[in-house]
Chain A
């Protein structure tokens, strides 16, 4: 209707500061990154050569890249799934008052306040082979200690669990907020109709939670796909390169392998993946939510 401001200047200038900041500190470096991806720059020297699309071609037959790509998807999708399921369960348990409810909410959320690098170091004390807290329990139970992170695939899943448990509190809070937005009358009406708890959950609660789920899934997915700190602190991408995510791989390629050009092209690839996956999931969930309301 009234799309234009009445007095001269469009209100669009209100977003100018934001756009300027983003252009200067994100877009410009991103474009320089594109330029670097066409070179064989080692990341520090003042000389380099342009090598065309060689770095992009290399992506498609690089074993390390495929491992990291696979892991990145596992980190993203795996921890988002876990977080959503556990988060909703916690929220259902902790939405109404009962003794211990507040304490549980506080404790579950706490780890989300901690830098994931620090959380990774703390987790290392748990999964360590020698004197690790979990292995001490194994020994106490008369079982053989296990070197948890020695197997790359297992390490990936352990990292997924650590990440999910660290941030499950965030999901829980969003879900609790979502649950509180559902009028009691809906559930009461259904329970008078004799609907069992699970049925109510399936047909009333979860559909009404969809907007909350959308928000948390999109944010968790982006967080999981960018996962970095926990991996660095627990395995540093090892054993070998088997638990690298694309983020840690970029770091490795740039600063250790001295392959800044290739690292940049992997970085752009990661950006594309996050962009595509994030948009797809968001559109899908938003459509579903609209369908309901």
Chain B
């Protein structure tokens, strides 16, 4: 019996061995082919064989490029479709297009450290502060003129140079539940005080005032980031932005914002699991029609909640202000934006791809798939219900995303820590201010 088992085991192992040898042989040839651009010698052989086969005209684009993004599924699919069309029109070009989700920033940092970047990559709002060192200036591109003027300050550096093609933009503001506001007989809040009042009314009925999925600390940070627009950026009484930029900002002025977040928590306006809820759960919870507000820049939540429950109707409003006479604004920055690596071996293909992406019908496709506004002029995508809200607030100013515009790169993680610690009540307002100040100074040093 024992012996038999052994024989079978040996036979099985041998079979597995041969099978995987075969599998390996094919896979290895596969991988060396796809990796061709890293090895100039091999790339050439691959190219010559291709030209012979396809009889492409001499001027046609040839080669393989890598494009990487952290876009969500809808955006990814839309862009992927466009890139497939591009490849159909340019048979000599192969594009490998991937999305890396929440690991994207880590991966890109490792790749920057090794100067081994994708030919084209998404810059998620950091084209200037973080990536510009590795990007090609794109002011000479044919689509340069069609970028919305008001949007330029998001993507241009001090010299007015831009490094990305922005497709659509994130709008940060206040999501409110239309049905519940009606039920509470409340207006859309224009000031933070009004918002807190409505939260109090909702609390009596068992509704969550403001929803945060804080297991991912990006969520509380995003709330701080959006709220900072009216708490700090657009104050009529002080010029905090330029103080933040030149380093003279008194960090005690941050305290009201931390206090606001802490108040939401201590007054019981947040969802009870605000610290531990996973972002995967935001739309389902919104669809239960018990959430009054979400302060966020993910407008897609409106659509996702409606898909799960058609009766969950949410609308978009500007960020509430500090009081009468203060300005309401939206926060806005590029969402899907692509830049070209300065050391790419296929500059011709890369600029052709961006040019193709920038065609109005393609930009429209991306905007409609993601439900986000266009960053280029005269696109007029059909954004469904949210288009009404955009129209209503057409006169409201869209200000650049707070941390990207006024804080050194790396502060986002500090905002994540303090936001998450505040709602967990593991940090006092003073400590949060201190942490912001310390990290701000350290990170300014690095630059």
Contacts and interface: CB of A to CB of B under 8 A. Distances in A.
Interface of A: 40, 42-46, 48, 124, 127-130, 145, 147-152, 235-236, 238-242, 251-252, 254-259
Contact of B105 (A128, A149, A241, A255): A255
A255 B426 contact: no
B215 A236 contact: yes
Nearest to B439: A257
A255 B416 CA distance: 13
Contacts of B420: 238-241
A236 to B, nearest CB: 6
A43 B105 CA distance: 11
Nearest to A257: B413
Nearest to B273: A129
A150 B424 contact: yes
B215 A147 contact: no
B421 A257 contact: no
Contact of A45 (B108, B112, B217, B276): B112
Nearest to A125: B278
B39 interface: no
A238 B217 contact: yes
Which 7 pairs, one residue from A and one from B, show the smallest C-beta to C-beta distance?
Answer: A240-B421, A239-B424, A129-B273, A258-B410, A256-B413, A44-B112, A255-B106
A264 to B, nearest CB: 12
15 contacts: A42-B409, A45-B112, A129-B277, A130-B273, A130-B281, A147-B272, A149-B276, A235-B215, A239-B276, A239-B420, A239-B421, A240-B420, A241-B420, A242-B426, A258-B413
Contacts of A149: 215, 275-276
Given A44-B130, A128-B276, A238 B424 contact: yes
A130 B112 CA distance: 40
A11 B222 CA distance: 61
A257 B414 contact: yes
A239 B445 contact: no
B442 interface: yes
A125 to B, nearest CB: 10
A145 B324 CA distance: 41
Interface of B: 105-106, 108-110, 112-113, 115, 130, 133, 214-217, 271-273, 275-278, 281, 285, 409-410, 412-414, 416-418, 420-424, 426-427, 439, 442-443, 445-446
A147 B427 contact: no
A150 B420 CA distance: 10
Contacts of B417: 240-241
Contacts of B285: 130
A240 to B, nearest CB: 3
A33 to B, nearest CB: 13
| Most B Cβ at <10 Å: residue of A152, A240, A259 | A240
Contacts of A241: 417, 420-421
A268 to B, nearest CB: 18
A109 B317 CA distance: 53
A43 B409 CA distance: 12
B410 A257 contact: yes
Nearest to A239: B424
Contact of A252 (B113, B272, B413, B418): B413
A206 B215 CA distance: 42
Nearest to A251: B106
Contact of A148 (B115, B276, B439): B276
B413 A239 contact: no
Given A44-B113, A128-B273, A130-B273, A238 B214 contact: yes
A242 B424 contact: yes
Given A238-B214, A241-B421, A42 B410 contact: yes
B388 to A, nearest CB: 31
A128 B275 CA distance: 11
Contacts of B106: 251, 255
A13 B218 CA distance: 52
Contacts of A251: 106
| Most A Cβ at <10 Å: residue of B109, B112, B115, B443 | B109
Contacts of A48: 446
A259 B442 contact: yes
A129 B272 contact: yes
| Most B Cβ at <10 Å: residue of A45, A124, A151, A238 | A238
Contacts of A152: 424, 426
Given A130-B281, A239-B421, A258 B409 contact: yes
B111 to A, nearest CB: 8
B273 A256 contact: no
Contacts of B110: 44
A238 B133 contact: no
B258 to A, nearest CB: 13
A250 B421 CA distance: 19
B113 A43 contact: yes
Contacts of A236: 215-217
